[in-house]
Structure 1
Amino acid sequence: MQDVVIKAIKQLVSHKKTPTVALIKGKLMEPVPMPIIINVLNQYKKDPQSIIASTDEVISEPEAPLLSTQSQLDRIEAKLDRLIQLLEKH
């Protein structure tokens, strides 16, 4: 799971953006627990080179919008599932 967060941070840095929890979450394709995102972000803040120099490659430009869109769709779908469950209970 940390690898996915590291890739998101690398992508943000390659676009000259400062990684934040919100920006990282927007780049993730799959749900990642908040503590993992925060831990990796804190590691990046303490030593940016520890993340940037890791062996994983940065996600290429054409894939970036797809990741963001897919992540948003996944979150919307999860919210809809929760709403449906709540409606079925009533």
Structure 2
Amino acid sequence: MHPAAQQAISTLLAEGKTPSVATVKAKLTEPLPMPVIIAALASYKNNPEAITHTAQQSQPAPAKPQSQLDRIEAKLDKLLALLEEKQ
């Protein structure tokens, strides 16, 4: 299962919500293809305990979540810096 999908499902479960394609997609930290989201949900529904066991084992270090806009701005800054170097 893709780590981002697993994290989204874990977050939803921690909030007491039932994971669905729409709710998982809304909680994703990075864009994923729809088949990956559906496969992750199917995996969770077949074995719900796998999410909780894996989430407990691989607790990521707390980090400030970076919004998609922040990531785009950082990439744009890098591109502009590269363009300025070539001029």
**TM-score (norm: length of structure 1):** 0.62
* Cα distance in structure 1, aligned partners of 2:13 and 2:60: 9
Which structure would you say has the larger Rg?
A: 2
Residue identity (%): 37
The residue correspondences of 1:14-53 to structure 2 (distance < 5 A) are 14-53=14-53
Displacement of 1:59 in angstroms is 9.2
The answer for the alignment partner of 1:80 in structure 2 is none
Counterparts in 2 of 1:53 and 1:20: CA distance versus 1, 3 Å: same
Unmatched tracts of structure 2, length 5 or more: 73-87
* Cα distance in structure 1, aligned partners of 2:61 and 2:9: 10
| Structure 1 runs, 4 residues or longer, greater than 2 Å off | 55-60
Q: Is the 8 A contact 1:7 1:58 kept in 2?
A: no
How many residues in Structure 1 have an aligned counterpart in Structure 2?
Answer: 68
**What whole-Å deviation, never above 9, does each CA across 1:50-78 have from its counterpart, x for those lacking one?**
11111333897xx6xx67xx36x6xxx9x
* Cα distance in structure 2, aligned partners of 1:58 and 1:9: 15
What letter corresponds to residue 57 of structure 1 in structure 2?
Q
Select the structure with the greater relative contact order (CA < 8 A; seq sep ≥ 6): 1
* Cα distance in structure 1, aligned partners of 2:61 and 2:22: 18
The answer for the alignment partner of 1:57 in structure 2 is 59
